[in-house]
Chain A
Amino acid sequence: GDSVTQKEGLVTLTEGLPVMLNCTYQTIYSNAFLFWYVHYLNESPRLLLKSSTDNKRTEHQGFHATLHKSSSSFHLQKSSAQLSDSALYYCALSDWGYQNFYFGKGTSLTVIP
């Protein structure tokens, strides 16, 4: 069945270093939507990025991700980590046809001074 894998559970980075959070997925559907949701402490999770277009870079709030269908990946990147980026990041998958939805286990990012 469909699934999402985030191999890093915990990531600790020094402020100013680049961020890369991995996300790979499995799906039988060709029309897959990939998402990154961010969950800051004491807030509700919210959408950060979304894409369904192969090889197109999507950007928002300094973060970017490119959907690569050939490698089934949708890694989240940022050129320079900020303290305020500390949060839980969830990668998620949906198919257009059946509207089912799958979250990865999440990656907890901690940015230190």
Chain B
Amino acid sequence: NAGVIQTPRHKVTGKGQEATLWCEPISGHSAVFWYRQTIVQGLEFLTYFRNQAPIDDSGMPKERFSAQMPNQSHSTLKIQSTQPQDSAVYLCASSLDGGSYEQYFGPGTRLTVL
């Protein structure tokens, strides 16, 4: 079991460019979570899928952020027109079936917007 896989590990974009982050959950896990981590805000919840369906995206900045889970083996987080304040570590986690189960986190993608 390779654990949760996130690619790329590091991404540098220019202001205004698009960034797409990928997450492959643990096989057999039905829930996928996206978080953003910064020193100031700590771990911020962004969005949550269960059986590929979006359950809660209350943490997503609506205008430029979007997430999808086209199949059970991967999810993507897309940030359009990136801004310097989007610089953070983006963490993906998966669990067997929702928030009451242990979440297994990936290594994260460090996004730097210049």
Contacts and interface: CB of A to CB of B under 8 A. Distances in A.
Interface of A: 33, 35, 37, 39, 44-47, 50, 52, 88, 90, 94-96, 99-106
A51 B50 CA distance: 22
A103 B71 CA distance: 26
Nearest to B31: A99
Contacts of B104: 46
B105 A44 contact: yes
B55 to A, nearest CB: 7
Interface of B: 4, 31, 33, 35, 41-45, 48, 50, 55-56, 91, 93, 97-100, 102-108
Contacts of B106: 44
A105 B41 CA distance: 7
B45 A103 contact: yes
Given A45-B43, A106-B42, A101 B33 contact: yes
A44 B107 contact: yes
Contacts of B105: 44-46
Contacts of A99: 31, 50, 55, 97-100
8 pairs of A and B residues whose beta carbons are closest in the complex: A99-B98, A101-B99, A94-B99, A106-B42, A44-B105, A105-B42, A99-B99, A94-B100
B43 A90 contact: yes
A95 to B, nearest CB: 7
Contacts of B42: 88, 90, 103-106
